[in-house]
Amino acid sequence: MNFISIEPKGTTRRRFVRSIAAGAGGIALASLLPSLPGPNQGGLAMASAQKSRYEKYLLAPDIKHYRDLQVFEIKGKDARDYDFAVQLAPVEAIPLMNESTTAANADRVRAYIGGDPENVKDIGTQIEITMGSEAETYIIDSAAVIYIPRNTAHAQRLAHKPAKPSFVLTLTLPPKYVEPPKPKK
């Protein structure tokens, strides 16, 4: 793999994202993909008919269509009123989404994950990642996580059609990570 990792600069968020995204997170996500509701299969279902105080935290996604491909998107505010966004797209949809080289006003994390639950490392293609005003280009050819700092221009380009299903999960993060207080002993 020709991926060059981005070194942490001492922020809590980078260490947090790296530790969560690497390892079991990708495997867990890939194993859940087949069970996600498809079109017209409904979204969220409550086991109880009663209103729950946590119901507001169960979010239904928007499903966008790019030709015959579907992209899962959720945008909203977290409990602290910070904006966030989550997007799960087939890697094959990258050229159809017409993303230009952009610099977001929030940190982003992109995880590229193979769609085979028995081999999530194999994304079945090569993806060019361009970052920064100098347009540094990196090529990834297996599962990887890319951290994109706020106000950093970036783009992704599919080198060729994937040989097998694979996904890109994009998380747009709040402007500040506030660690929850630790319980008192």
In sequence order, the 6+-apart residues with CB closer than 8 A to the CB of 169 are 29, 86, 87, 88, 110, 111, 113
Q: Where are the beta strands (DSSP E) in 25-101?
A: 62-66, 69-77, 83-90
Q: How far apart are CA 117 and CA 95, in angstroms?
A: 24
Mean pLDDT across 41-58 = 65
pLDDT tens for residues 20-32?
Answer: 444 444 444 444 4
pTM, full prediction: 0.65
Q: How far apart are CA 159 and CA 95, in angstroms?
A: 10
Structure tokens at 56: 């507001």
Binned at pLDDT 50, 70 and 90, residue 8 comes out as very low
pLDDT tens for residues 66-117?
Answer: 888 888 888 887 777 778 888 898 888 887 776 767 777 788 899 999 999 9
CATH superfamily of 12-38+61-172: Jelly Rolls (2.60.120.10)
Domain residue spans of the chain: 12-38+61-172
